[in-house]
Chains A and B, each alone.
Chain A
Amino acid sequence: MQVPDDRRYSTDHEWARLADGKVQVGITDYAQDALGDVVYVDLPAVGARVELGGVLGEVESTKSVSEIYAPVAGEVVAVNAALADSPELLNTDPYGAGWISEIVPTDVGALDALLDAAHYTALISE
C-alpha cells in the first residue's frame, strides 16, 4: 500500500495535503483497495461549509456505499469534476488524478491533528 509522506491522514482513510492555503482531499490507496472498483462518486457542492468529520460525499463501488468525511473544517472551493465520468480515477490514482475536493480550512493548523505517513502506515498494518 502506498502512503506518500507529503500529506496527512485521517483514521477514516482520507488524505489531506496543504498547498497555497487550500487542503486537497482524497481517499487513500488502502481505502480504494478495500472498496473495490469505484463506479460513482457523489461530490460536495462548491461553496458548501463542512465540519471536521462531517460528510463530504459518497463513494460507491460495485459492492458498497461509503461516506467520505472531511478531514478538516472549512469551505469547499473546488471539486474534481473528472470523477463524474471517470470515477475509476479513485482506484488508479488515489493520491493524484483521483483527488475529490479542495477545502479552504477554517484553521490551517488543523492538519497537525491528523496522522503523518508513519502513523497511518502503522494504523493500516494493524
Chain B
Amino acid sequence: MAPSESAPTSTDARHGPAPIEEPETRHSPLEEAHRTLGAKLVPFGGWLMPLAYGTGTLAEHMACRTEAVAFDVSHLGTVRVQGQSSTDILQRALSNDLRKVAPGRAQYTQLLDDADGSVVDDIIVWWLDDDTFDVMPNASNTTRVRDAIGGDDTTASRAVIAVQGPEARLRLASVAPDAAAVARFRVTRFSWNGFDCVAAGTGYTGEDGVECAVPTEAAREFWQAVLDAGVTPAGLGARDTLRLEAGLPLHGHELGPGITPLQAGLGWVVGWEKAEFRGRDALERERASGPRRRLRGLVAEGRQPPRDGASVLAGTSSIGTVTSGNFSPVLSRGIAMAFLDTDHEVADGQELTIDVRGRHLAAHVVALPFIPVGKARAASGGAS
C-alpha cells in the first residue's frame, strides 16, 4: 500500500510537503494538550496542528453535526488594527462594506488583488469597539494581509478555540456564560478566570457556534474546561469535511490567485456601495461581462470521493474542474465543489461525469450548500 495521490484536504493542500520540524514551524499553545489526547499532528500553513484525535475524522464530523466539538484554530492570524483611521484603512483595503455592520459585530470579507480582482485572502473581521478591529486572515496569508492594512500581529499572544455544533452554546455556557450568549456574527469581550478574552458567534462548519480568543497563558486551562463540559476535540480533517458539506470556500481551492469572489458565488462580500476598494475596477469589468466560470456543487452517485483537480465532463467535453472533493458523512456519498464554465448551460439536477484518475463517476449538480446549514437547519428541526 502506498499513497497514489496526496488528497486535497485542508491539511496538506497549499503548502506542499514540509518536514515536521522545520525551524520556522509554529506551535499552538495547546500542542501538549493535543499530544496528551492522542492527536495526529500535521504541518498546516507553517504550523503543527491536530489532523484528528483517537476516534477519527468521521466521528468528529458527526459529533459536530449532532452535539458539540472544539477546534484549536490558533493558526489563524490575528492582526489588531487600532486608531481613528482604522475604519478608513479597512474600508479601502478590504472588499466588504463595514457600514453594513457596526462595532460589536463580525464580518466576512476579502483582500483582493488590485489588478485582477482575485482573492488574495478571505478574512473574518471582529469589530471590537469603535476604533479597534481584530482582522483574522488564513495562517499562511497573515503577512500579506498585514502588509495591506498595517496593524499589530497579535497571533502569538492568544489561542483561538472554536466550539461548534447544535449543543455548542449549551455546553460552553457552563464554562463561559458570556461567551456562550454571543449572538450569531456578534463579538463580545468576556472575562474568564481574570483573563480578558473575546468571543464571536462565528465558525466554519455550517453549525451554530462560538469562537473564543483566549490569552496564551490561559489557553490550556480554558481548552480543558471546554472538553470537561462534554465537548469533543476535533481536528483539521473534520474541519475540512464539515466546511465542504456546508459549501464554504477554502483559500487555495475555491479562492486564490485568478479566482474572483464573483466566480465563487460570493458577490455579497463585495461592497459595491463603496467608492473605492482594492480590486474594484477589475470586479466591475467582470460584473459587466459576467464571470467566465461559476462554483457549483456536485453529488456523486456512490461513495467514492471526487478529488481536487478532477475534470468535470458534460458528455465527452470538459466543462470544468473540481476544487475540493471528499466523502460526505451526512449524505454517505462523494461530494465536490467545482468551477464550471458559464459557456455551458448547467441546471441544478443535471447529470454530469467526473473523471477521477481515468474512472468516470456519475454525479448531479446541486445548489450549495450540500446540507441545510444555519437558519435553514434550525427551521428543519436541527441535527437530531
Closest to B55 in A: A37
Chain B residues within 8 Å of chain A by Cβ, number: 28
Task: Choose one: B3, B58, B302, B357; the contact of A64 (CB below 8 Å).
Answer: B3
Within B235-277, the residues touching A (CB, 8 Å) are: 237, 240-241
Chain B residues positioned under 8 Å from A67 (CB to CB)? 1-4
Question: Whole-angstrom distance from the CB of B17 to the nearest CB of chain A?
Answer: 13
Task: Choose one: A13, A14, A59, A62; the contact of B237 (CB below 8 Å).
Answer: A62
A-binding segment of B6-14, B170-178, B190-198, B223-231:
B6-14
Within B65-106, the residues touching A (CB, 8 Å) are: none
Task: Choose one: A37, A42, A63, A68; the contact of B11 (CB below 8 Å).
Answer: A63
Task: Choose one: A39, A40, A59, A88; the contact of B1 (CB below 8 Å).
Answer: A59
- Is A40 touching B327 in the complex (CB atoms < 8 A)? yes
Q: Looking at chain B's contact residues, is the secondary structure mostly helix, strand, loop, or mixed?
A: mixed
Contacts A62-B326, A63-B11; A36 near B4 (Cβ below 8 A): no
Verify if B382 is at the interface (C-beta below 8 Å from A): no
Question: Whole-angstrom distance from the CB of A76 to the nearest CB of chain B?
Answer: 17
Within A35-86, the residues touching B (CB, 8 Å) are: 36-37, 39-40, 42, 58-69
In the complex the two chains form, what is the Cα distance from A13 to B1 in whole Å? 6
Verify if B305 is at the interface (C-beta below 8 Å from A): yes
- Is A68 touching B304 in the complex (CB atoms < 8 A)? no
Verify if B158 is at the interface (C-beta below 8 Å from A): no
- Is A36 touching B2 in the complex (CB atoms < 8 A)? no
- Is A37 touching B58 in the complex (CB atoms < 8 A)? yes
- Is A91 touching B56 in the complex (CB atoms < 8 A)? yes
- Is B57 touching A60 in the complex (CB atoms < 8 A)? no
Known contacts A62-B237, A64-B7; can you find 16 more A-B pairs with CB under 8 A? A12-B2, A14-B1, A39-B58, A40-B302, A40-B327, A42-B304, A60-B305, A60-B327, A62-B9, A62-B58, A62-B241, A62-B326, A62-B327, A64-B5, A65-B307, A68-B1
Which residues of B does A touch, CB under 8 Å? 1-7, 9, 11-12, 40, 51-52, 56-58, 237, 240-241, 302-305, 307, 326-327, 334, 357
Could you list 5 A-B pairs, sorted by A, with CB under 8 Å?
A: A36-B51, A60-B327, A62-B240, A63-B57, A91-B56
